[in-house]
Amino acid sequence: MAAPGTPGGTGGTAFVLGGGGVLGAAEVGMLQALFEHGVRPDLIVGTSVGAINGALVAADPGSSAVDRLRAVWEELASQGIFAGSVLARLGTLARTRTHLHPREPLRDLLETHLPVRTFAELHVPFQCVAASIERAAEHWFTEGALVDAVLASCAVPGLLPAVELEGEHYLDGGLVHSIPVGRAVALGADTVYVLHVGRIDRPLSPPTGPWEVAQVAFEIARRHRFAADLAALPPGVTVHVLPSGDPAPPGAANLRYRDFSSVPARIDQAYVAARDHLDRSGASRDGGT
């Protein structure tokens, strides 16, 4: 029998970490609650900001991972990964014609905080997804250079440049698989904990302004695949969707991708909500309730 986290494997607990930019701070609080309840992953899959959080946990799968993640998010807020004046951002756009920010600050952050450099060095099997431009398809990174793969998964169109690896160009994994429950199940997990950014449980309404059109369209796409994954679960698979604890409506606030002021509150809200959920459900490593 193949080990959990490998194609054809059976059994095991998976953490699925979805995308969502700055809202991904909520996943840190969820991870803290899971570790406090003794839940440990046999497999981690992540998309976009979930790839950042997931890679750090896979490299250090214990309570210390939460402290490391909090430090990363504090640095995201203080160092300004998406820093720069309007003129600087427009200058980058004019020079590149494709994006507003360079990727180097994010690369430096990952290289500073990730204690390993390759997938093979991780303590827990980890995969992250990106969207291949040439093939118009999802691509799962499972080996090789870890930072390059995470950067590809995080390459938000218009904000960061596409990542070129071996002649192929990749954009943000949220374009093809924002909450990859199906991937975890395909790899053999029978207990899945979904860590998301808090948008999937909020009702959608028709856009009222041009800035909302793309947001609503993207939400339809990401929720449709997530719902399809849940509807197609095979017998014997248990999925726990952890709450984010965020009472705020989605709205245009989600478009403020450079605003990290709410990060500490978002982590704490998600921790309390996920902790209470786990207390009530009795969810454990074996999926029991």
Instruction: Indicate which residue of 48, 153, 178, 244 is catalytic.
Output: 48
Between strands 238-241 and 191-195, the pairing is parallel
Q: Is 108 a catalytic residue?
A: no
Instruction: Indicate which residue of 42, 172, 229, 246 is catalytic.
Output: 172
Q: Is 172 a catalytic residue?
A: yes
What's the token pair of residue 173? 């994994």
Residue linked to tokens 């959920």: 277
Catalytic residue numbers read 48, 172
